[in-house]
Structure 1
Amino acid sequence: MGMQSLVIHTWILTKRSLIVLIRNPFTFIPNLFISLFFLLVYTGGLSGISQLPEFDGADYLAFILPVSIVSAAVGGAGGAGQSLVRDLESGYFARLLQTPVTRLAIVLGPTIAGMLQLLMQTIIILTVAFFLGLNVAAGFGGVLVVILLAIGWGLAFAGYSVALALKTKNAQAAQAGTLIFFPLIFLSTTFVPLELIEASWLRIAATINPTTYLFESMRAVLIDGWVMGPILSGIAVITAVCIVTVSLSVRSAKRAFQRE
């Protein structure tokens, strides 16, 4: 009965979050636009550097595509935290705690809605990339790997976003806190491979940056095919980050429930 209640309550709250999202499309359209901007502008403006020997003839569209997808993951999953903040500020969260709803479902609902939003954004970005001439070395299976990696990163960010929202209970503070993920995108192998980064501090930052391993795992299936080393490294890093951020969100939720 407990598991059945969790599934039903999670579905109801996920559906509510999706309805709110659909009714307010401008909460996700700017993020999708920015992600497509990365794809179109940088493919057109920087594609010439793929002629360098370090690229080994790789298509720059496939190289830059992960940047567009990851930026969508950051913005899309951040909606989970923003949704909770709106509920906290409106008083809906407090009223929800007075009902028999399963407490875990309160956190899972907006998180799953954020994942579904991210899934649709990723599919749209990949569709645009195919129209631009994308060729995936690993085939359809590689496309699925890219989607799963994006969802995994989105889950990691959603956990952080939810934890921050429950901790601050303030929309401005929560939004400002999520901006930390955007510097992580650019302190990585965003535009060129690691061996082309000349500044030693930037190379060190890229080496310890988890986003680098996410980029490399996506680029492996897009450019090289089933090269398991980078793929497994990306999965391991995403799993570790997910464990940390989701644990933080669960702890923050327990404290919020106790205070309410």
Structure 2
Amino acid sequence: MGNNVWKDTWLITVRNIKTTLRNPFSFIPNLMISAFFLLVYEGGLSGISQLPTFEGANYLAFILPVSIVSAAIGGAGGAGQGIVKDIENGFFSRLLLTPASRLAIVLGPIIAGMLQLFIQTLLIIGIGFLLGLEVKTGFGGILFVLLIAIGWGLAFAGYSAGVALRTKNAQAAQAGTFIFFPLIFLSTTFVPYELIEAQWLKVAATINPTTYIFESMRTALIDGWIFWDLMQGVIAIVIACAITITFAAVSAKKAVSRG
């Protein structure tokens, strides 16, 4: 049974990847927007790094996680859109009539979304190096940033898939992803926590999991191997994945029972 699950997951993942490649405009705009943010923020706000709080840190390394996380939201959201398309064109119903694992039917689009995000993150980091990115922890730090990005993408893909299975509607699934965009800006997006003046924004940043994703990446890029600062992002991802993947699994069970 276990082998069948992995085989079915692999086949469905490959199908979703091929579907994405046939329609590159489903991911190219998101990549371009993330790269655009990186260029604009670096060009317009890099002077902030001269403030004493930054201690001479490279602002490009500080802002890079924002571009990566925005790519994660857009890229991983494709998992939900893929499921909705399969529901609307009847492919999802046909899959339910086959012996294919029900878990694989949900995991396939999620993994495909993660792989798409992995490529996007590599390209964004590559653009960062072209702009002069310096990484304190070297190649190991880049790998850590990639793992954090993929983990956050997994959490968001689970949420996206869950919303798609609940609503079975493309517009509703797309609208459901917008909840994550405010999380980017209610965080330490442009300046460190110490420079945020509004008390309400400090409270929002403290309870916002995106803050810990940012800080974990920035620690690897700027400060070095500081264990607890790195682990905060890992813990946030584990909690988020537990919630969103459970949500997707429950939604899938209900979708399957309804046929």
TM range (shorter): over 0.9
1:194 is matched with: 193
Tell me, yes or no, if structure 1 residue 215 matches structure 2 residue 214: yes
Residue number in structure 1 paired with 2:95: 96
Q: CA deviation at 1:229?
A: 1.6
Q: AA paired with 1:37?
A: F
For residues 213 and 219 of structure 2, what CA distance do their matches in structure 1 show? 10
Do structure 1's residue 130 and structure 2's residue 129 form an aligned pair?
yes
Tell me how far apart the structure 1 counterparts of residues 48 and 219 of structure 2 sit (CA, whole Å): 19
Instruction: Report the Cα offset of residue 108 of structure 1.
Output: 0.8
Per the TM alignment, residue 184 of structure 1 is displaced from its structure 2 partner at its CA by 0.2
Partner of 1:148: 147
Deviation, structure 1 residue 8: 1.1
Q: How far apart, CA to CA, are the structure 1 residues paired with 2:22 and 2:194? A: 46
- CA shift digits 1:199-220 (9 cap, x unpaired): 1111110111000000000000
Indicate the residue corresponding to 2:3 in structure 1. Answer: 4
- Matches of 2:175 and 2:245, distance apart in 1: 19
Structure 1's consecutive aligned runs of 4 or more residues displaced over 2 angstroms after TM superposition are: none
Q: For residue 185 of structure 1, report the CA deviation from its aligned partner.
A: 0.3
Aligned partners of 1:236 and 1:11: how far apart in 2? 28
2:67 is matched by which residue type in structure 1?
S
Distance 2:79 2:100 in 1: 18
The aligned length equals: 259
Structure 2 counterpart of 1:258: 257
The one-letter code matched in structure 2 to 1:9 is D
Deviations 1:165-214 (A, max 9, x none): 00000000010010000100000000000111111111110111000000
**Cα separation, 2, equivalents of 1:74 and 1:134:** 23
In 1, distance between residues paired with 2:49 and 2:76? 31
Q: TM-score, normalised by structure 2?
A: 0.99
Please list, as runs of the form range in 1=range in 2, the aligned pairs for 1:57-76 lying within 5 A after superposition.
Answer: 57-76=56-75
Runs of 5+ consecutive residues of structure 1 not aligned to the other structure:
none
Query: 1:173: which partner in 2?
Result: 172
- 1:55 counterpart = 2:86: no
Q: State the distance in 2 between where 1:76 and 1:181 align.
A: 12
Q: CA deviation at 1:20?
A: 0.5
What fraction of aligned residue pairs are identical, expressed as a percent?
A: 66
Following the alignment from structure 2 to structure 1, what is the Cα–Cα distance between the partners of residues 154 and 14? 18
CA shift, 1:91, in A, is 1.0
Unaligned runs of 5+ in 2: none
User: What is the match of residue 33 of structure 1?
Assistant: 32
Shift of 1:227: 1.1
Matching residue's letter, 1:57: G
Tell whether 2:79 aligns with 1:77. Answer: no
> Within 1, Cα distance between the matches of 2:232 and 2:214?
11
Whole-angstrom distance in 2 between the partners of 1:214 and 1:81: 22
* Residue in 2 that maps onto 1:206: 205
Q: Which residue of 1 aligns with 2:109?
A: 110
Q: CA deviation at 1:3?
A: 1.0
SS in 1 for 2:140: helix
Q: Secondary structure at the match of 1:216?
A: helix
Q: 2:193 and 2:74 mapped to 1: Cα distance?
A: 25
Written as runs of structure 1 = structure 2, the 5 A alignment for 1:231-242 is 231-242=230-241
- For residues 108 and 212 of structure 2, the distance between their equivalents in structure 1, rounded to whole angstroms, comes to 29
C-alpha distance in 1 between matches for 2:168 and 2:74:
19
Distance 2:233 2:103 in 1: 28
Distance 2:73 2:13 in 1: 19
| Backbone CA RMSD of aligned residues | 0.6
Separation of aligned partners in 2, 1:62 and 1:184 = 20
Post-superposition CA distance 1:105-145 (Å, at most 9, x none):
10011111101100000000011101111111011100000
3-state SS of 1:242 partner: helix
CA distance, structure 2, for counterparts of residue 231 and residue 8 of structure 1: 34
Report the CA distance between 1:38 and its aligned residue: 1.2
Cα distance in 1, alignment partners of residues 226 and 154 from structure 2: 24
Task: Give 3-state SS (helix, strand or coil) of 2:79's partner.
Answer: helix
